[in-house]
Structure 1
Amino acid sequence: MPVPTPSSIDSLLFPLSTFLLSIYTLSTSTDAFISSTSALAHRLKISETLIALLTAGAEWEELAVVISALAQHRPHLALGNVLGSCVANILGAFSLGVLVQREAFVTYDASARIYAVVLFGVTTGVAVLWGFGQLEGRVYGALLIALFVGYLVGIGWSIYRGVLDAPQDSDVDSDDENSTSEGSDVAQDETLHDETRADESTPLVGRRRNSVSTLVHLVKLLVALVALSISGYVLAHSAKSLAAAFNISDTVFGATVLSLGTTLPEKFVAVISGSRGHTGIVVANTVGSNIFLLTLCLGVTVLSSNDLAEGSTYTHEIVWTWTTSAFLMVMIIIGTHRLVGLAMLLAYAAFLGLEFTLYRK
Structure 2
Amino acid sequence: MDYLYVALGLLGLFLGGDALVRGSVGLARRMAISPLVIGLTVVGFGTSTPELLVSVDAALRGVPDVALGNVVGSNIANVLLIVGATALIWPIAVAGATLRRDTAVMVAAALALVPIFALGEVGRLAGACLFAALVGYLVWAYLQPGDAAPDEADLAPPMAAPRALLWLGGGLAVLMLGARFLVTGAVAIAEDFGLSEAFIGLTIVAVGTSLPELATSVVAAVRRQSAIAIGNVIGSNIFNVLGILGVTAVIAPIPVAPRFLGFDLPVMIGVSLLLTALLLLRASVGRIMGAAMLGGYAAYIIAAQG
> Which segments of 5 or more consecutive residues in structure 2 lack a partner in the other structure?
none
Whichever of the two has the greater Rg, that structure is 1
- Give yes or no for the alignment of 1:81 onto 2:70: yes
What residue number does 2:238 align with? 291
Report Cα offsets for 1:289-330 as digits up to 9, x if no partner: 100111111112323433522433563221111110111111
Matched with 1:95 is 84
Task: Report what 1:243 is aligned to.
Answer: 190
The 1-side partners of 2:178 and 2:224 are apart by 33
Whole-Å separation in 2 of the counterparts to 1:158 and 1:19: 41
Q: Distance in 1 between matches of 2:113 and 2:123?
A: 14
Determine the C-alpha separation between the residues in 1 that align with 2:183 and 2:214. Answer: 21
* Contact kept? 1:144, 1:299, Cα under 8 Å: yes
2:115 matched residue in structure 1: 128
* Aligned residues of 1:87 and 1:324 also touching (Cα < 8 A): yes
1:82-115 CA deviation, whole Å, 9 max, x = no partner? 1111011100111233334459xx5733322222
**Alpha-carbon shift at residue 277 of structure 1 (Å):** 5.2
Query: Does residue 158 of structure 1 match 2:144?
Result: yes
For 2:292, give the aligned amino acid.
A
CA distance in 2, matches of 1:155, 1:270: 21
Counterpart code for 2:232: N
Residue 93 and residue 296 in structure 1: after superposition, are their counterparts in 2 closer, same or farther (change >3 A)?
A: same
Distance in 1 (CA, whole Å) between partners of 2:7 and 2:64 is 21
Contact 2:183 / 2:209 at 8 angstroms: preserved in 1?
A: no
Secondary structure of the structure 1 residue equivalent to 2:255: coil
Q: Secondary structure at the match of 1:248?
A: coil
- Give, in angstroms, the shift of residue 272 of structure 1: 4.7
Deviation per CA, 1:157-176, whole angstroms, max 9, x where unpaired?
A: 112xxx4459x9xxxx89xx
Cα deviation digits, residues 240-293 of structure 1 (max 9, x gap): 432320100122112112222332343344445446654433331211110011
Give, in whole Å, the separation in 1 of the partners of 2:23 and 2:170: 9
1:1-361 aligned within 5 A: 14-25=1-12, 28=15, 52=38, 54-58=41-45, 59-102=48-91, 108-130=95-117, 132-133=118-119, 135-159=121-145, 163-165=146-148, 180-181=158-159, 183=160, 236-274=183-221, 278-313=225-260, 315-335=262-282, 336-338=284-286, 339-356=288-305, 358=306
Q: Deviations over 1:5-25 (max 9, x none)?
A: xxxxxxxxx233224424544
Distance 1:36 1:275 in 2: 15
**What amino acid is the match of 1:80?**
G
Normalised by the length of structure 1, the TM-score is 0.67
Structure 1: runs of 5 or more not aligned:
1-13, 185-209
Specify the code of the residue in structure 1 equivalent to 2:231. Answer: A
- Label 1:233 to 1:312 Cα distance change in 2 as closer, same or farther (>3 A): same
Taking structure 2 as the reference length, the TM-score comes to: 0.77
CA-atom RMSD in angstroms: 4.2
Q: Is contact 1:64-1:228 (8 Å) kept?
A: no
Equivalenced residues, count = 299
Q: What SS class does the counterpart of residue 258 from structure 2 fall into? A: coil
